[in-house]
Amino acid sequence: MSEERILGIDFGGTKVALGLADRDGTLLATRRLDTDAQAGAEQVVVRALAAARALLADEGAVAACIGVVSPGIVLPDRILLAPNVPGWEQLHLRELVAAEFPAVPISVGTDAKAAALAEWRWGALDGADPAVFLSLGTGIAAAVLIGGRVLTGANGAAGEIGYNLLSPQDTEGFASGAAPLEEAVGGRGLGGRASELLGRPVTAGELFALAKENVEAKELVTAALDELSMHVANLAIALDPERIAVGGGLVRSADVLLPALADRLAHAVPFPPQLVAARFDQDAALLGAVALALGGGDQSGQKQAGPHNGT
């Protein structure tokens, strides 16, 4: 007899993460595949759902409920503020998943906000109030929790700091199609500038490693961290959080990233918050999807017991 499992799907700018969990939220099996963003949005979803079916079959399981997270604001007929994958903003994401898994309850949400919920319930933000989850990867976003409830904002866009302006000259920002902070310090923007600077394809992670011995790479990383740390400090000044947890792909370079952020917080913020790496590292959004599927869609802040990463 097939075991009932919670299926989590995390659609990212560069990869899709899939996971099966039990009802305590413990991840039992995971898969990853490349997003292949330039090939468009629909193929990403088709391949991810096929991989989810294969994962369930390999594990002898059926999906009891499904949580799906994505960059942007997920609405029934479109996804707002998700420009990294061509066509993503036109997706009817819930409908596509429901067509593959009819009669299975499906919850959808924003990846950074779901990750924040997972970190507060089970991870590095446990007990912190207010708390901030800072997602640093292909894109840049923050999620704020107050009393364990994720602050969504009037339009679901609270914490979309990738659109922060960098200077008084950024008079249009979003209106001109720009995401100034994300383009300056997000993984895609950093990788693009590093590739141009060094004359070969370079990822953001490789850039941080190169910065330890390459002067040009170090200057690029230093400028990016100066910019990012200023915005994180301003966020801390505005919110006065007890703790900030940093997750996303760039946290692989935590040895460079966290000291730069901590130094700016210590000198610029009247009451500096604790700064920690996210407990779940690359799995925070995936566990967030699991949390949504388990009933966290209302982000009510009700905690669930048990360990949550069995991999």
pLDDT above 70 covers a percentage of the chain that reads 94
pLDDT of 297 above 60:
no
Burial of 57 (0-12, 13-18, 19+ CB in 10 A): exposed
Q: What is the mean pLDDT of residues 37-59?
A: 90
**What's the pTM?**
0.85
What is the pLDDT, as a whole number, of residue 1?
62
C-alpha distances (whole Å) from 19 to each of 48, 59, 78, 98, 307 are: 11, 11, 24, 17, 15
Tokens of 24: 């305590």
pLDDT of 247 above 70:
yes
What is the pLDDT, as a whole number, of residue 307?
38
pLDDT in tens, 260-273: 999 999 999 999 99
Residue where the block lists tokens 């924040």: 116
Tokens of 147: 């009393």
What is the pLDDT, as a whole number, of residue 296?
58
Cis previous bond, 130, omega within 30? yes
Rounded CA-CA distance 151/68 in Å is: 19
- In degrees rounded to 5, what are phi and psi of residue 21? -135, 160
pLDDT of 306 above 50:
no
Q: Are 96 and 208 in contact (CB under 8 A)?
A: no
What is the pLDDT, as a whole number, of residue 104?
94
Closest alpha carbon to 228 in 110, 116, 95, 137: 137
What is the pLDDT, as a whole number, of residue 302?
34
Q: What is the mean pLDDT of residues 128-152?
A: 92
Q: What is the mean pLDDT of residues 70-76?
A: 86
Helices (DSSP H) in the chain: which residue ranges? 41-58, 93-100, 111-122, 180-185, 187-198, 204-210, 215-239, 254-268, 284-293
pLDDT above 90 covers a percentage of the chain that reads 60
Rounded CA-CA distance 117/303 in Å is: 10
End-to-end CA distance of the chain: 24
Exposure string over 146-159, b if 16+ CB within 10 A, otherwise e: eebbbbbeeebebb
C-alpha distances (whole Å) from 48 to each of 9, 100, 108, 288, 293 are: 8, 11, 15, 17, 17
User: Could you tell me which residues come within 8 angstroms of residue 252 by beta carbon, excluding any fewer than 6 positions away?
Assistant: 205, 208
Q: What is the mean pLDDT of residues 2-26?
A: 90
Q: What is the mean pLDDT of residues 274-278?
A: 95
What is the pLDDT, as a whole number, of residue 311?
37
pLDDT in tens, 198-213: 889 989 988 998 988 8
226: three-class secondary structure by DSSP: helix
pLDDT in tens, 177-193: 889 999 999 988 999 99
Rounded CA-CA distance 207/194 in Å is: 7
